[in-house]
Amino acid sequence: MLVQIERQPAQRRLPDFLRKPQSEFQAVTALKRELRSLHLHTVCESARCPNIHECFSRGAATFMILGNLCTRGCSFCSVPKADPRKTAFELDPLEPENVAAQAATMRLRYVVLTSVNRDELPDGGSTHWALTVAAVKRALPEAQVETLTPDFNGDRAAVERVLAAGPDVYNHNMETVSRLYRRVRPQADYAQSLQVLRYAKESHPEILTKSGLMVGLGETHEEVKELLRDLRSEGIADIATIGQYLQPTRRNREVARYVEPQEYEEWRAYGESLGFRAVFAGPFVRSSYMADLVAHEATS
């Protein structure tokens, strides 16, 4: 049964608990310069993450592979979009090794990889994914690698290709509750995303599975609990992250509401009662934010 929700007007002024100082300009500029020299991208920049100053200043970044143009039009995302029928999409064959080189230069102990959607590629870009994971592991054999992948249109062979490369954490974001998928993720499918996580956990139980969602898109408190229950169904996700959606540009979906900090605590406690190894929830939480600490919590 669909739940009818009265949409709240967009709130232009951020509440105090969503104000974050942006002071590490030198660190941000320096890391951006290094990344551009290798033709690399980060989701931190493309998605306009509010944590970019904090993360870049401590030498952390989420590498975004397969280029910087996405074939999907999710309403919440500011990553540049392009139609492959009108735009020439090319894979950079040097990207896997360049990502590995930059990760080694940064002396990372925990490397997070994500990507745009490349639906025009027969394998969804999964071969490129596997090459990048392998390159990072060669360059940093002691480091852990987390892969935050697209759904690959539910292609199990593509998912398996990434898993076989040996990531320590396999992450695929649900992003929002089932009822909102058609408006928020029109080219994705709720059940299909659950199936991606289910396959990852059933085929490689030794790999931690993880998923994230945004709140403030129009969902109810109970719908978030329902999503958490779906993620724990048959133990398909070990880790969950929950954070506030912030409208990155005027072209993106408006914020329906700003969620009070207490609600995150309620979801965190509820998720832990379901058996998640770790639930990271808060206004500034993003799927890859503090990913190393979250993975450590899940394994300790």
Place of tokens 């967009």: 10
pLDDT, averaged per 10 consecutive residues of the chain (300 residues), comes to 43 66 63 77 64 62 87 87 78 94 89 93 97 97 95 97 98 97 94 98 98 96 98 95 91 93 97 97 89 91
pLDDT in tens, 242-277: 999 988 888 899 999 999 999 999 999 999 999 999
Domains defined along the chain, listed by start? 23-299 (3.20.20.70)
Q: From residue 133, how far is each of 7, 112, 289 by CA, in Å?
A: 42, 10, 19
Residue type, 92: D
Q: What is the pTM of this model?
A: 0.87
Q: H-type helices in 81-208, by residue range?
A: 95-105, 126-139, 156-164, 181-184, 190-203
> 47, 76 in Cβ contact below 8 A?
no
Main-chain dihedrals φ then ψ at residue 133, nearest 5 degrees: -60, -45
pLDDT in tens, 126-144: 999 999 999 999 999 999 9
> H or E segment at 37?
helix 25-37
Predicted local distance difference test score (pLDDT) of residue 57: 59
> 92, 116 in Cβ contact below 8 A?
no
Predicted local distance difference test score (pLDDT) of residue 50: 63
Sheet of 144-148: strands edge to edge? 41-42, 62-65, 110-115, 144-148, 169-171, 208-215, 239-244, 278-281
